[in-house]
Every structure is written in structure tokens, then in C-alpha cells.
Chains A and B, each alone.
Chain A
């Protein structure tokens, strides 16, 4: 089983700040997912990435496969970014890639 660690667990920021959330995992993988969950709400898939960097609006995700580490950055943070951010990884780089293991999540609060 792939062990997933996210940091920080909780993050409070002022509107406009640059945010970084980190995710480390124990077993080499082909790709990693970043998800967003609003309190009491559904889950939105933000990124699936296997190498390098992806950007969508103010969100940027990077991954270093060799170091087994990924980061999610939010530029010019806004109160509506307040949510739990979750990284998820498959068990390894081979089969059963669908069987995701999820981090405990990072609760981000952006104050106006």
C-alpha cells in the first residue's frame, strides 16, 4: 500500500497570498491526483499529473517522480479557495492504478 503524507494539515492565509500544499508518497507511481472538497460538499478533480507541471487558472501542480513528491500552488489566493485539498495516488506504477489511496487532506482557509 502506498503511504501518503500531506502537509500542512491546516493552513490559514490572507487573501492574495501564495499558497503551497505538499504531498509525499512512499511507492513509485505513474501519476498523482489533486482533488478539492468544499466543507459538506462534493469532490472536484483538479489535476492528474504524471510529470513536470500543470496549470489551470491560478492553480499550479508540480510533481517530482524521482523524489516521490508533489506540490499544489495557488497564486493570488481568494476566500473562495477555502476548501480541503487532497492528493491521491495509485498503489504503484503498475496495475490497479484505479485503486487510489488518499491523503488526509489540507484544510485551507483564506481570509478576506
Chain B
């Protein structure tokens, strides 16, 4: 049973470009969470999605960031017009259901903005 998959593992973008990060949840999981880990900082919640629905995006920056989890395919975290401050590790996690269920984390995508 494959775990949570994220790709790419490393992504380099120039300032102003777009970054697309993908997350495929574990089989049987329909709930996805995105977290960001800035250098020398702890993990921070960004957004919680179910299939085709954004449940809670209170941790997402108001501009340039968006997330989706379509009926088919992976969840996508999209960052438009990236800036150097977006350089971070982005982790997604998935769970079987919402609420207090164990979240399983992916390997992360390390975004570097040059």
C-alpha cells in the first residue's frame, strides 16, 4: 500500500514564476492537508481539502496561493508569482476521514525560489 506521494521532491523557480506542487493521498484516503515549513521554523497548517471541496484555508496566504483536490487526480498546491519568501518545504498529509484521525505525511516538496 503506497504511502502519500508528493512530486516533485525538489522544485526550483525564478521569482515571478508559478509553482505547482502535487500530492497523491494514500489509497482510501479522501482528506488532504497541506503544511509549510519555512527554514528554521516549525510546520504550519495551510489548508484542508476533501475531494472537490476546500474545508479550511485559514492558514493560506491571502494572495498568490491556491489549492484544489479534484474528483480525479492529485491535490495541487499552486503558488503564483513566487517570491524568495516562498522558499520552504511543503508537506501534504492525508487521512481516511476528517476530525481526529491519524494523518500520514508525504516526503515533502522543497521549493527554492531564486
Contacts and interface: CB of A to CB of B under 8 A. Distances in A.
Interface of A: 30-31, 33, 35, 41-45, 48, 50, 86, 88, 90, 95-105
Contacts of B105: 35, 42-45
Interface residues of B, number: 23
Please classify the interface of chain A as helix (H, G, I), strand (E, B), loop, or mixed, using the class held by over half of its residues: loop
A50 B108 CA distance: 27
Interface of B: 31, 33, 42-45, 48, 56, 58-59, 91, 93, 95, 98-100, 102-108
Contact of B43 (A30, A86, A95, A98): A86
Contacts of A95: 99
Nearest to A48: B102
Q: Which of A42, A45, A99, A105 has the most CB of B within 10 A?
A: A42
Given A42-B108, A43-B108, A100 B103 contact: yes
Contacts of A99: 45, 48, 56, 58-59
B98 A98 contact: yes
A67 B102 CA distance: 23
